[in-house]
Amino acid sequence: MSIEQIIRRYFKSGSEAERILIAHGEAVADKADEVARRFPEADTDFDFLYEAAMLHDIGMIGTHVPSLDCYGQSPYIHHGIIGKRLLEVEGLPRHALVCERHFLTGVSREDILREGMDLPPRDMLPESWEEKLICYTDCFYSKKAGRLKNEKSPAEVLKKLPAFCKPVFQSWLIDFKEAVPDVLILSDRRVSG
């Protein structure tokens, strides 16, 4: 089944929710592709990277966020775990992991418990190269109306991230060869897995 067919199973054709999912997915897919190409030595699965970027937020349809035209039962923070379940049902377990592991810069069991997040207490950290690429590039885009394709600057991303995610993102700026002013990456760098 194609990406479009999977999206159509859960999103009403022509709806605002579908438009947001696709526009956001394309923005993340484009940047993930661009970042991946900085690493010709990496064995990037570009087809998977594109598909998983397009589907990573599919679970938003099960959440209640009227501004995203989504009228499900769950809080938005559940969009990753809902997406994981949907894509497992669709027989896409690798894509499903991207859904669960892309929230913020990934959240560990300890992060979930310490921050009191409404999530099951288990590690939801990006592990594969493609999972990390999507989690990283997703940080640069919001789903706010009119700003779907606007790439945030690294400084803007850092400003919005919770404190426990900032060192991970600062580390990623270096690891993913982002062109950024030194001032953004000098302090408190934690090497990520």
Residues that bind Fe ion in the complex, under the rule CB under 5 A: 57, 138
Give, as one character, the DSSP assignment of residue 141.
-
Q: Please say which residue, 51 or 57, places its beta carbon nearer to Fe ion.
A: 57
To Fe ion, the closest distance from the beta carbon of 192 in angstroms equals 19
Residue nearest to Fe ion (CB): 138
Strands (DSSP E) found in the chain:
64-65, 70-71
Q: Please say which residue, 55 or 185, places its beta carbon nearer to Fe ion.
A: 55
To Fe ion, the closest distance from the beta carbon of 90 in angstroms equals 18
Residue 65, beta-bridge partner list: 70
Q: Please say which residue, 100 or 138, places its beta carbon nearer to Fe ion.
A: 138
What is the sign, positive or negative, of the torsion defined by CA atoms of 38, 40, 44, 49?
positive
Burial class (CB in 10 A: 0-12, 13-18, 19+), 187: exposed
To Fe ion, the closest distance from the beta carbon of 56 in angstroms equals 6
Q: Please say which residue, 18 or 138, places its beta carbon nearer to Fe ion.
A: 138
To Fe ion, the closest distance from the beta carbon of 40 in angstroms equals 26
134: its two tokens: 């999507």
Q: Please say which residue, 135 or 185, places its beta carbon nearer to Fe ion.
A: 135
Contact 62, 72 (CB under 8 A): yes
To Fe ion, the closest distance from the beta carbon of 183 in angstroms equals 27
How many secondary structure helices (H) and strands (E) does the chain include?
9, 2
Residue 96's closest CA among 109, 108, 82? Answer: 82
